[in-house]
Amino acid sequence: MEPAFPWQARSGLPYLILATTMFLTRDRCGILRAVRVLLVIPALNEEAVIGSVVEELKQAIESGAITGEILVIDDGSKDRTAEIAHKAGARVARMSRNLGIGGAVQCGIRVALREGFDGAIQVDGDGQHPPSEIAKLLEVGAREPASDLVIGTRYLSSDGFRSTFLRRLGGWWLSRLLRVVAGASVSDPTSGFRLYGKRALELFDRNYPYDYPEPEAVAIAMAAGLRVTETPVVMRDRQAGRSSIIGYRTIYYMLKVTLAVMLAYVRNRKR
Amino acid sequence: MFERYWLFAAFCFIAVVILVRLVLRERVTLQASLSLLLLLGLMSFVALFPNVASRLAQTMGFTLASNFFFAAGIGALMLLHVHSLVTLSRVELRSITLTQELAILREKLDQLSEKS
């Protein structure tokens, strides 16, 4: 007589089939909910928008879409960024002086690593990154083989905010450079919407670039043998403030980042 | 017979005195100023004994001793500059780490004071 349930079978095959089916059709959301992440928000003079960013993320946590905590890194703001973020319900680490985005992000990475989080998600403090898109990063991070660094890219999706032509051109150049130098396939290397896995946390705790860090961080990750992937996300236009890379700084940015990517890869590659 | 460059030697001596005073007032560390002190000492020696520098210049193929002096001076200053860059970068990295650690500790303190 055929057994009604797999566990009634004498052979181990039904168990294997059941286990495989469960693995393949597992409730992804359930697994993602089990991942405890630290949402790191580097912010500098973002009083106009930081409150709503924190509240949006808080709602996502309360709804159960994300398991984790929110940490705002106030990078030496002169306004009420820290106070508003704290009132909105975030943990706030206040820098005594401005370190730049790299120093702020690394501070968040250090907290995530020390407090045993499974990963950290970098979210901009200017409201560009909708919390609803975090699930996409987590899903790619949970996929096998596991990714150590997942980058949310705005260029693989036709929806949402698109940056200016010059910025896209700069992004294209850095993307090509990363492909040639580090073998990375990243279409939006300047995106600050990222998921850092455990190995990335350990790496960037020791070594994270301070000045315009995003493309260089990809080169460091690739050189260290980490798995870097990307996923299309929808981004919004910044809700307040403006980019620090304007005017002559654009030329400095491109020169500095180009050189930094090459040097970072050579310096950090596994021997 | 070589003449001695007393005025230049005096200038170097004054620079040494200023540097030593800065060390004594703890405005600069002895470790950081040691290489500059060494350079000033060498320059004073060359000012007082130019024949040594002249012989060295001839040995190294310089037609004029002054050319050798300038080349050596520029080279030494470049080395000092690189040394300063290394020191400055190290201090900057330490400062970044300390600022991060301070922010993390302040955040922990805030959490503790909220709980209590």
Counting the structural domains of chain A, the total is: 1
Residue-level pLDDT at A155: 79
User: How far, in Å, CA of A190 to CA of A218, rounded?
Assistant: 10
Amino acid (one-letter) located at A93: A
* Closest chain A residue to B111, measured at CA: A91
SS3 A37: strand
Residue A40, in any domain of the structure: yes
Q: Which residues of chain A fall short of a pLDDT of 70?
A: 1-34, 157-163, 239-245, 270-271
Average pLDDT, chain B: 90
Residue-level pLDDT at A16: 58
CA-nearest of A104, A248, A230, A244 to A175 is A230
Contacts of A174 (CB under 8 A, 6+ apart): A189, A190, A215, A257, A258, A261
B97 touches chain A (CB under 8 A): no
Residue-level pLDDT at A5: 41
- Per the CB < 8 A criterion, the answer to whether A123 and A53 are in contact is yes
Task: Quote the strand ranges of chain A, DSSP E.
Answer: 36-43, 67-74, 91-94, 119-122, 149-153, 194-196, 228-232
| Domain with A149 in it | 30-268
Answer whether A103 sits within 8 Å of B104, measured CB to CB. Answer: no
A96 touches chain B (CB under 8 A): yes
- Per the CB < 8 A criterion, the answer to whether B59 and B68 are in contact is no
CATH number of the CATH domain containing A104: 3.90.550.10
DSSP per-residue letters across chain B: -PPP-HHHHHHHHHHHHHHHHHHHTTSS-HHHHHHHHHHHHHHHHHHH-HHHHHHHHHHTT-SSHHHHHHHHHHHHHHHHHHHHHHHHHHHHHHHHHHHHHHHHHHHHHHHHHHH-
A159/chain B closest Cα distance in angstroms:
37
- Per the CB < 8 A criterion, the answer to whether A2 and A10 are in contact is no
* Closest chain A residue to B105, measured at CA: A93
**Residue B103's pLDDT band (boundaries 50, 70, 90)?**
very high
SS3 A171: helix
B34 touches chain A (CB under 8 A): no
Residue A7, in any domain of the structure: no
Residue-level pLDDT at A8: 42
Residue-level pLDDT at A270: 65
- Range in A164-168, B13-17, B21-25 the model is least confident about: A164-168
A205/chain B closest Cα distance in angstroms:
11
Residue A16, in any domain of the structure: no
Q: Which residues of A touch B104 (CB under 8 A)?
A: 93, 107, 110-111, 114
A107 touches chain B (CB under 8 A): yes
Burial of A150 (0-12, 13-18, 19+ CB in 10 A): buried
Q: Which residues of B touch A77 (CB under 8 A)?
A: none
Peptide bond into A215 cis (omega under 30): no
Q: Map out the domains of chain B as residue ranges.
A: 6-115
Question: What tens digit of pLDDT does each residue of B62-102 get?
Answer: 988 889 888 998 999 999 999 899 989 999 999 999 999 99
B106 touches chain A (CB under 8 A): yes
Question: What tens digit of pLDDT does each residue of A253-262 get?
Answer: 889 999 999 9
- Judged against a pLDDT cut of 50, whether residue B4 lies above it is answered with yes
Q: What is the ipTM of this complex?
A: 0.79
Answer whether A99 sits within 8 Å of B110, measured CB to CB. Answer: no
A41 touches chain B (CB under 8 A): no
Residue A10, in any domain of the structure: no
Residue A161, in any domain of the structure: yes
Give the bridge partners for A195, in sequence order: A121, A150
Residue A154, in any domain of the structure: yes
* Closest chain B residue to A111, measured at CA: B104
Structure tokens at A265: 């890869």
